[in-house]
Amino acid sequence: MSRLLIVANRLPIAVSRVEGKIHVERSPGGLATGLSGPHSKSDALWIGWPGDVQDLTDDEHAALERRLDELRAVPVWIPPDDLREFYEGFSNGALWPLFHHLLDQMPLRVQGWDAYERANRRFADEVCRHYNDGDLIWVHDYQLMLLPQMLRDRLPEARIGFFLHIPFPASELFRTIAHRERLLEGVLGADLVGFHTAGYMRSFASSLLRVLGIPSNVDRVYHDQREVRLGVFPMGVDTDKFAKLAESDEVQARVRELRGMDDCAMILGIDRLDYTKGIRRRLLAYEKFLYDHPEMHGRVRMTQVAVPSRTSVEAYQDFRSQVEASIGRINGAFSTPEWAPIHYLYRGVDEVELSALYRAADVILVTPVRDGMNLVAKEFVASRTDDGGVLVLSEFAGAASELAEAVMMNPFDVDRTSEIIHRALTLPADERLARMRALRRRVLSYDVHHWVRSYLESLEEATDRSDPSAFAPTPPARLERLCDEMRSADDLLLVLGYDGTLVPFASAPELSKPDEDLLVLLRRLAARPRTEIHVVSGSSRDVIEQRFGEIPIHLHAEYGFWERAKGAVVWEGGDVPVQEWRDQVLQILENFTARTPGSLIEEKTVSVAWHYRMAEPEFGAFQANELTLHLSQLLSNEPVEIVTDDKLIEVRQTGVDKGIVVPRLLAQSPPGVFVVAMGDDRNDEELFAALAGQGTTIHVGGGTSMADVRVPNIDAARRLLASLVD
Ligand code: ADQ
């Protein structure tokens, strides 16, 4: 097993000053428990912020570092001003509400980006300082979204995982955040990006498409000549620990005390005091339940435990006041001298008390408006070794995608929630038992250790570098050798693609004009002795002529069906066959174009193309799928091929592809000519196939290719060509 570097915003320890002395303790959070196994093994390190430990003397600082070192914890020190902006500003002030779909909690002006970037850089420095070859790096959560790419830049070969503990927002909302491109690119520095649910993974993929234009293939993304895997890993809890605790004498005694206070049924709420947890609507629903069911007064009580959280953030202070006002109003309206409808505890409770509460409750209300997973729901189930209790669970918690046997609720529907509270309290015993048994089977089989194992196994698999992937860039030495061979060849034949190879894709074919630098480069190459240049494009003759008409090179339009030799003025081509299919195809394409805003039709002599680069990406892809199906049925007996390419569907005369230029070019060339073909898409693969064994092929950009050599992008392709004339 490789050494693991865990990188999270917080270290799994709590530093405090007790009677003037600095005290360091392990803190028992869910992540800390889950990772304690791997952290204690194989020299693993945990890198993170040690907490707010100000006013340390130099001696105390040194002693703290020594103690942390013993615990294999590496502190990342962040200056207080930066910390506020990084943590309270950008992370919790902007990313937290946005990712939870709570736009009303977003500040008018998002601040703290620079501090966010600086803090991520400090983490990167610490990771690089401790990194050894072969380590696995596992980065956690929204505070560190830039870190994977920062590490990738400095440690290109490192094996890096990223896990997001909170939801990923719908792309429509994600698009609203400043620096959205940097955040996505930051995460894509990882080899494996993990989410709690398939929904979050889909939202992430959708944002990649809309914000960066990067498509994904279900669980794979190709970016920057690397494959990035996406995966779903629902986090579990330490079920053994919760079961043992719940069965312990101490907890059982405490449960008897809690249950023995009176005959009230107990409704439990346990949350960090956070506006995402749905506490205010839960209280409103409980209030309505008390109005609607006077017979329940004195027979039921809600115990709401709220752990103080992010207390220096204003939104959290306001939220606390609102929660406490609601509780005050409800208790004021319904309490009697013997009974109060709500017990409210504003503090954390220790694990014995937590376990006793889980065990004593008749019903637990887990009602977040949105929550990455929600471990409280799973801890409750893990504690119910007696198969008792009812879990009421929000559809908007990540846990809902696994725990289907809970009593599900929509936290935004207060009236219905109030009915659900009544239903949960009066659920028939057999149904209650059946639900809890099913929930327990699920929660016990996917505990936190399973989560850690399955994530790390996937990370090992995603980063197995023993099988050099088809996406690896060609080593510089190989490229250098190719340049030498080209430079020293007696005769050189360059066969070049255009869109995506020499210039970026434009929104419509006629808009992809060559820039001045490219024209100069082509002129210089054309002037090189014993060098012939052929540009082979899918575009029509007019378009190609407009682009390159003035340059002394050979032009091929419509995948080589038409050719204009160097210096010639007319195009030569084969006979254009009768195309009985054309009118019918055009009619269908017009229909799709009308229904797909942003799409357009391009008519050529041997083909008709439908472009959807400007359409809304997901709808465009959906329509393209429909269109392909439709066309394949319609044209099954026609002499055409349906070619799908980057944001393009083309119906093309059979037998026309870029491969047809190869025999012609070789026949015109002197014997022993050194042929180099360069391209980026599926049409160029036809060219490469026809050239196999007779020349060297170069693929530009990501994705799979049969080419001999790969360069990462258009700039690199141009640099390679420029090296022939510099
Ligand atoms: P949180 O928002 O903190 O976590 P949650 O998953 O419910 O939410 O975890 C809370 C933890 O705090 C639980 O382990 C619980 O036992 C503990 N806790 C809650 N109330 C307590 C109390 N009063 N006293 C003591 N302990 C208490 C983020 C995401 C979640 C995601 C987790 C893990 O927001 O959606 O499930 O990370 O990925």
Strand partners, 267: 302, 363
CB atoms near residue 450 (< 10 Å) = 17
- pLDDT score for 469: 54
Tell me, in angstroms, the distance from the centre of ligand 1 to residue 384's CA.
18
- Report which protein residue has its CA nearest ligand 1's atom 38: 165
User: Measured from the CA of 270, which atom of ligand 1 is nearest?
Assistant: 20
Domain termination site, one of 189, 217, 232: 232
Alpha-carbon separation of residue 375 from 7, 8, 224, 393 (angstroms): 21, 18, 36, 12
Half-sphere exposure of 428 (CA within 13 A, CB side): 3
Q: Which residues does a 6 A CB cutoff place in the pocket of ligand 1? A: 30, 165-166, 235, 270-272, 305, 307, 348-349, 354, 371-376, 379
Provide CB contacts within 8 A for 569, sequence distance 6+.
none
Tell me which of 39, 165, 534, 556 is the catalytic residue.
165
Give the SS3 label for residue 154.
helix
Mean pLDDT of 118-129: 98
> Is 446 found in the same domain as 418?
yes
3-state secondary structure 517-575: HHHHHHHHHHCCCCEEEEEECCCCHHHHHHHHCCCCCEEEEHHHCEEECCCCCCCEECC
Q: Which residues of 551-577 are buried (b: 16+ CB within 10 A; e: fewer)?
A: bebbbbbbbbbbbbeeeeeebebeeee
- pLDDT score for 112: 96
Strand partners, 533: 494
> Is 628 found in the same domain as 525?
no
Indicate whether 315 belongs to any domain: yes
> Is 683 found in the same domain as 665?
yes
CB atoms near residue 212 (< 10 Å) = 15
**pLDDT tens across 616-675, in order?**
888 999 999 999 999 998 898 889 999 988 889 999 999 899 999 999 999 999 999 999
Which of 8-12, 58-62, 193-197, 580-584 is the least confident region? Answer: 58-62
- pLDDT score for 362: 98
Mean pLDDT of 187-193: 98
Tally of domains within the chain: 4
- pLDDT score for 466: 67
- pLDDT score for 404: 94
Tell me which DSSP letter residue 474 carries.
P
Alpha-carbon separation of residue 303 from 296, 311, 422 (angstroms): 15, 22, 16
Tell me, in angstroms, the distance from the centre of ligand 1 to residue 479's CA.
52
Of 374, 379, 380, the one to substitute when testing ligand 1's pocket (max ligand atoms within 8 A of C-beta) is 374
Task: Give yes or no: 292 in active site.
Answer: no
> Is 251 found in the same domain as 110?
no
Tell me, in angstroms, the distance from the centre of ligand 1 to residue 376's CA.
6
User: Measured from the CA of 307, which atom of ligand 1 is nearest?
Assistant: 23
User: Measured from the CA of 306, which atom of ligand 1 is nearest?
Assistant: 23
> What string of DSSP letters covers 49-79?
E-----S--HHHHHHHHHHHHHTTEEE----
Provide CB contacts within 8 A for 389, sequence distance 6+.
358, 361, 362, 363, 364, 380, 432, 436
Contact 197, 232 (CB under 8 A): yes
> What string of DSSP letters covers 185-234?
HHHTTSSEEEESSHHHHHHHHHHIIIII---EETTEEEETTEEEEEEE--
User: Measured from the CA of 271, which atom of ligand 1 is nearest?
Assistant: 20
H/E element holding 304? strand 300-307
Tell me which DSSP letter residue 336 carries.
B
- pLDDT score for 76: 95
- pLDDT score for 470: 56
Closest C-alpha among 26, 165, 168 to residue 448: 165
- pLDDT score for 226: 86
Closest C-alpha among 251, 323, 316 to residue 287: 323
- Report which protein residue has its CA nearest ligand 1's atom 20: 271
> Is 181 found in the same domain as 136?
yes
- pLDDT score for 273: 94
Indicate whether 471 belongs to any domain: no
> Is 96 found in the same domain as 79?
yes
User: Measured from the CA of 372, which atom of ligand 1 is nearest?
Assistant: 35
**pLDDT tens across 69-110, in order?**
988 999 999 998 899 999 999 999 999 999 999 999 999 999
CATH code for position 630: 3.30.70.1020
Q: Do you know the residue count of the chain?
A: 726
Strand partners, 232: 195
Indicate whether 332 belongs to any domain: yes
Contact 28, 351 (CB under 8 A): yes
Indicate whether 570 belongs to any domain: yes
Of 376, 383, 448, the one to substitute when testing ligand 1's pocket (max ligand atoms within 8 A of C-beta) is 376
Tell me, in angstroms, the distance from the centre of ligand 1 to residue 488's CA.
66
Q: What percent of the chain is predicted at pLDDT more than 70?
A: 98
Which of 233-237, 326-330, 635-639 is the least confident region? Answer: 635-639
Tell me, in angstroms, the distance from the centre of ligand 1 to residue 394's CA.
15
Tell me, in angstroms, the distance from the centre of ligand 1 to residue 141's CA.
14
- Report which protein residue has its CA nearest ligand 1's atom 14: 30
- pLDDT score for 28: 61
The pair of structure tokens assigned to 85 is 């902006």
Of 272, 396, 447, the one to substitute when testing ligand 1's pocket (max ligand atoms within 8 A of C-beta) is 272
**pLDDT tens across 200-225, in order?**
999 999 999 989 988 888 899 988 87
- Report which protein residue has its CA nearest ligand 1's atom 3: 272
- pLDDT score for 17: 78
Give the SS3 label for residue 470.
coil
Task: Give, in degrees to the nearest 5, the angle at Cα 673 between 669 and 675.
Answer: 100
CATH code for position 507: 3.40.50.1000
Residue 574 pLDDT > 60: yes
Contact 5, 133 (CB under 8 A): no
User: Measured from the CA of 274, which atom of ligand 1 is nearest?
Assistant: 2
> Is 391 found in the same domain as 378?
yes
Contact 224, 261 (CB under 8 A): no
Q: What percent of the chain is predicted at pLDDT more than 90?
A: 76
Tell me, in angstroms, the distance from the centre of ligand 1 to residue 272's CA.
7
The pair of structure tokens assigned to 520 is 């100069």
Could you give the angle at which helices 661-668 and 682-691 cross, rounded to 10 degrees? 50
Of 351, 367, 375, 393, the one to substitute when testing ligand 1's pocket (max ligand atoms within 8 A of C-beta) is 375
User: Measured from the CA of 397, which atom of ligand 1 is nearest?
Assistant: 35
> Is 570 found in the same domain as 587?
no
3-state secondary structure 237-295: CCHHHHHHHHHCHHHHHHHHHHHHCCCCEEEEEEEECCHHHCHHHHHHHHHHHHHHCHH
Tell me, in angstroms, the distance from the centre of ligand 1 to residue 377's CA.
9
Indicate whether 81 belongs to any domain: yes
Give the SS3 label for residue 301.
strand
Strand partners, 271: 306
User: Measured from the CA of 377, which atom of ligand 1 is nearest?
Assistant: 7
User: Is the sign of the CA dihedral 512, 514, 517, 521 positive or negative?
Assistant: positive
Give the SS3 label for residue 269.
strand
Residue 615, domain extent:
582-653
Tell me, in angstroms, the distance from the centre of ligand 1 to residue 601's CA.
53
Contact 76, 120 (CB under 8 A): no
**pLDDT tens across 247-296, in order?**
999 999 999 999 988 889 999 999 999 999 999 999 999 999 999 999 99
Tell me, in angstroms, the distance from the centre of ligand 1 to residue 270's CA.
9
The pair of structure tokens assigned to 166 is 């909170």
Residue 509 pLDDT > 90: no
d(CA 284, CA 327): 9
CB atoms near residue 684 (< 10 Å) = 29
Indicate whether 337 belongs to any domain: yes
Indicate whether 131 belongs to any domain: yes
Mean pLDDT of 290-307: 97
User: Measured from the CA of 351, which atom of ligand 1 is nearest?
Assistant: 25
Task: Give yes or no: 240 in active site.
Answer: no
Give the SS3 label for residue 650.
strand
Tell me, in angstroms, the distance from the centre of ligand 1 to residue 370's CA.
13
The pair of structure tokens assigned to 470 is 């088809």
Tell me, in angstroms, the distance from the centre of ligand 1 to residue 8's CA.
16
Q: Which residues of 511-549 are buried (b: 16+ CB within 10 A; e: fewer)?
A: ebebeeebeebbeebbeeeebbbbbbbbbbbebbbebbe
First to last CA, the chain: 49
Tell me which DSSP letter residue 174 carries.
H
d(CA 511, CA 400): 48
Confidence of residue 230 (pLDDT cuts 50, 70, 90): very high
- Which residue in the block uniquely carries the two structure tokens 């059982």? 252
Which of 145-154, 330-339, 689-698, 704-713 is the least confident region? Answer: 704-713
User: Dmax of the chain from CA atoms?
Assistant: 106
- Report which protein residue has its CA nearest ligand 1's atom 19: 271
Tell me which of 191, 371, 447, 657 is the catalytic residue.
371
> Is 409 found in the same domain as 338?
yes
Indicate whether 498 belongs to any domain: yes
- Report which protein residue has its CA nearest ligand 1's atom 27: 348
3-state helix, strand, coil in the chain (%, to 5): 45, 20, 35
d(CA 201, CA 167): 9
Domain termination site, one of 196, 214, 232: 232
**pLDDT tens across 352-391, in order?**
999 999 999 999 999 999 999 999 999 999 999 999 999 9
> Is 671 found in the same domain as 607?
no
Give the SS3 label for residue 175.
coil
C-beta pairs of 183-186 under 8 Å, 24+ apart in sequence: 183/145, 183/146, 184/208, 184/211, 184/212, 185/149, 185/212, 186/120, 186/145, 186/146, 186/147, 186/148, 186/149, 186/150
> Is 558 found in the same domain as 427?
no
User: Measured from the CA of 379, which atom of ligand 1 is nearest?
Assistant: 16
- pLDDT score for 407: 98
d(CA 130, CA 170): 36
Alpha-carbon separation of residue 478 from 224, 474, 483, 485 (angstroms): 19, 7, 9, 11
d(CA 217, CA 205): 9
**pLDDT tens across 18-56, in order?**
777 888 887 766 678 778 877 877 689 999 998 877 778
CATH code for position 296: 3.40.50.2000
> Is 120 found in the same domain as 14?
yes
Mean pLDDT, the chain, integer: 92
Closest C-alpha among 449, 379, 447, 351 to residue 41: 449
Domain termination site, one of 207, 232, 257: 232
